[in-house]
Amino acid sequence: MSDRERDLAAFSWEETIRGILRDQFGPAAEGAGRHSLELEHPALGGRARLTLAELLLRVVSESYMAGRARGRLVPLYYRVKKLVPRPVQLALQGGQFRRARADFPFAFPFDPILLQALARARREGGFSPRPAFWPENRQAALIVTHDVDTGPGQTRVHRLTRVEEEVGLRAAYNFVLRRYPLDESLLRDLKSRGHEVGCHGLLHDGKLFENPEVYRTRMDLLLEFARRHDVAGFRAPSLLRRAEWLAREPWLYDSSFPLNEPGGPQPGGIHYPYPFRLGRLIELPITLPQDHLLWNVLRQENLDAWIGTAERLIEEGGLLVLLTHPDYTYEGRRLDLYRRFLERCRADARLWIALPREVAAWWRQRESDHA
């Protein structure tokens, strides 16, 4: 058996859940995982009794989506996308989202099912309070990220960095390596000014997870680019994801798992707003609604969803991961909304604002300290 085959064989969601329980409960993790809860929730098919470990496994692994179509039509979508006018694309996406949301078993944009279960287990089982996860005595953490999906988006990156630097923070920019000519001078400039560069796939055509051969070829090219450019993190195009494949890769972190995604190419969501170990890497879930969904699909050009979700996550000591795109958010009202949200976060003394690689390194060090 090769090293890669051993890595793949070693991954299990059960071990991932044991790691989450250790993060939350420390030495009492095993007992907390066995704590029995009676719950009622659409994702459980109504009323059910499960252990905390069983509930975490069902939700974080997204097994509640078993039997539903997830990502099967993505390659076809990318083949016909250029033939469909943009307004028609958005109208179709809006209709698809509304249908998916009606059948989705979680509240959007935030469902507290796991946070409530963790709190109940602590209360009923007499376990210690939730640990303080973040440095500098901060209550929660914020990561600002961007996926640069297209060539025009790449030319607009500077519009966002200008806003971020004026506000006083830095962000991560994830580039698609071969969908457009990559401006390597831009990558160098971003890094020299304190921003982070990440990988967002090779072509953004929906085929990364099509089969093991395509995946391996593309991932090896991405990893080679990462070695040359000191890139620590990966986010899958369209947030298509296969944990058992990603978990074996030598990235410092991945950020492909949404907190709550009723629609999109691969609906689901893990509903757990903290970093966690996924095989060899640290997973940084995307915990705030995407700009594309709010502003392009739902036509909600305001800050209500971001602010409301952020407040809930801060109350729970969670990780806020913001994902926007210079392809959509680069001028006018949208850029102003983006600036206002960053200013609000920058002024919030409860938040540790850091780059993804800093948060992942912190989490890995925290694991080592608590081992």
Could you read off the pLDDT tens digit of each residue along the chain, which spans 371 residues?
455 544 545 789 999 999 999 999 999 999 999 999 999 999 999 999 999 999 999 999 999 998 665 555 566 666 666 666 766 666 666 667 777 777 889 999 999 999 999 999 999 999 999 999 999 999 999 999 999 999 999 999 999 999 999 999 999 999 999 999 999 999 999 999 999 999 999 999 999 999 999 999 999 999 999 999 999 999 999 999 999 999 999 999 999 999 999 888 899 999 999 999 999 999 999 999 999 888 888 888 999 999 999 999 999 999 999 999 999 888 899 999 999 999 999 999 999 999 999 999 999 999 988 77
207-246 exposure pattern, b = at least 16 Cβ within 10 A, e = fewer: bbbeeeeebeebbeebbebbeeeebbbbbbbbbbbebebb
Boundary (domain end) residue, out of 102, 125, 148: 125
Tell me the three state secondary structure of residue 235: coil
Domain holding 58, by residue range, is: 3-66+110-125
| Shared domain check, 208 and 345 | yes
| Shared domain check, 155 and 40 | no
Task: For 203-232, give the DSSP string.
Answer: S-SS-TTSSHHHHHHHHHHHHHHHHHHT--
H-helix or E-strand containing 37? strand 36-41
| Shared domain check, 328 and 357 | yes
| Shared domain check, 157 and 61 | no
| Shared domain check, 118 and 240 | no
Backbone angles phi, psi at 197, to 5 degrees: -115, 135
- How many domains are contained in the chain? 2
Q: Which residue has the tokens 């691969």?
A: 266
CB atoms within 10 A of CB 181: 8
| Shared domain check, 169 and 120 | no
| Shared domain check, 32 and 153 | no
Q: What is the pLDDT of residue 5?
A: 47
| Shared domain check, 166 and 220 | yes
Q: Is residue 75 part of a domain?
A: no
Q: What is the pLDDT of residue 290?
A: 93
Q: What is the pLDDT of residue 1?
A: 40
Q: Residues 268, 62: contact at Cβ < 8 Å?
A: yes
Q: Is residue 91 part of a domain?
A: no
Q: Is residue 80 part of a domain?
A: no
Q: Is residue 130 part of a domain?
A: no
H-helix or E-strand containing 39? strand 36-41
Q: Is residue 121 part of a domain?
A: yes
Q: What is the pLDDT of residue 328?
A: 87
| Shared domain check, 178 and 51 | no
| Shared domain check, 199 and 166 | yes
Q: Is residue 307 part of a domain?
A: yes
| Radius of gyration of the chain from its Cα atoms, rounded to whole angstroms | 20
| Shared domain check, 167 and 116 | no
CATH number at residue 196: 3.20.20.370
Q: Residues 52, 142: contact at Cβ < 8 Å?
A: no
Q: Residues 362, 135: contact at Cβ < 8 Å?
A: yes
Q: Which residues have C-beta within 8 Å of that of residue 208, sequence separation ≥ 6? A: 201, 202, 214, 215, 218, 219, 236, 237, 240
Q: Is residue 88 part of a domain?
A: no
Q: Residues 360, 182: contact at Cβ < 8 Å?
A: no
| Shared domain check, 154 and 116 | no
Q: What is the pLDDT of residue 161?
A: 98
Q: Is residue 362 part of a domain?
A: yes
Q: Which residues have C-beta within 8 Å of that of residue 271, sequence separation ≥ 6? A: 59, 60, 106, 111, 113, 114, 259, 260
Boundary (domain end) residue, out of 125, 151, 166: 125
Residue 88 tokens read as 């028609």
